[in-house]
Structure 1
């Protein structure tokens, strides 16, 4: 049940590359977090100059205007090891398949609980169905 927001500098990625990014993120969630394949909810946001800021060298990582901010809201419960493997695999796959720089893959996981989700109809489906995805 992840919800993904991807932000990037306008004109850095075309429609085809955004499709690749979407697919790679989705497949990585399936592979590393056991998310069902059909569970795909993603929004991409392009930003104009003056709307997108980043540190070019925070924590020793050399970033460029190709930076992707990937924010993933998902059910809590993944281990630190799972998260580290996910980060590594996602950066490697994006850099290989697009290609893009691994340094430009910035990921934030936002853990939450079943009661924090409604997939429509004003219902908390994950509570109703007793899911544990």
Structure 2
């Protein structure tokens, strides 16, 4: 159910994008115990002149491999989120060569009535999920 939105600089090839999305989904499954087919991802590519991602004064170096991940989700426990941050960063470093300094993650929280997966129904509210 989490909707993952990725913002990256243009220039990655199809294999790199597949690896990024697959790795992120695996981290989501591992961290939050979501079903394997619970996969909703959108990747947006930006010209370098159209995206700024500084470091909030934390002295975190950024490169052309930078990835901003927005996760739209029902409420999650703090420990789960912290585990996800670590899982995602270590997996992206190992499988995609993206350093943890190039991964920024933000959660946007919503509730059960904010989701409809189709058929004009709210599956969480109606008990289908």
* TM-score, normalised via structure 1 length: 0.90
Within 1, Cα distance between the matches of 2:124 and 2:110? 12
Map 1:36-115 → 2, pairs under 5 A: 36-56=35-55, 58-76=57-75, 78-115=76-113
Q: How far does residue 103 in structure 1 lie from its aligned partner after superposition? A: 0.5
Q: Distance in 2 between matches of 1:34 and 1:70?
A: 19
Q: Secondary structure at the match of 1:55?
A: coil
Shift of the alpha carbon at 1:106? 0.6
Deviation at 1:68, TM superposition (A): 0.3
Aligned residues: 129
What is the DSSP-based 3-state SS (H/G/I as helix, E as strand, rest coil) of the residue aligned with 1:6? Answer: strand
Matching residue of 1:118 = 116
Alpha-carbon separation, structure 2, partners of 1:65 and 1:57: 18
Please list every run of 5 or more consecutive structure 1 residues that lacks an aligned counterpart in the other structure: none
1:48-86 CA-partner distances (Å, limit 9, x unpaired): 13211111563222112211010011111x221221111
The Cα shift of 1:29 comes to 1.1
Q: Which runs of 5+ in 2 are unaligned?
A: none
Between the aligned partners of 2:90 and 2:77, the Cα distance in structure 1 is 20
Q: Segments of 4+ in structure 1 off by > 4 A? A: none
CA contact (8 A) 1:5 1:43 kept: yes
Show the counterpart of 1:28.
Answer: 27
The separation in 1 between residues aligned to 2:124 and 2:25, in whole angstroms, is: 20
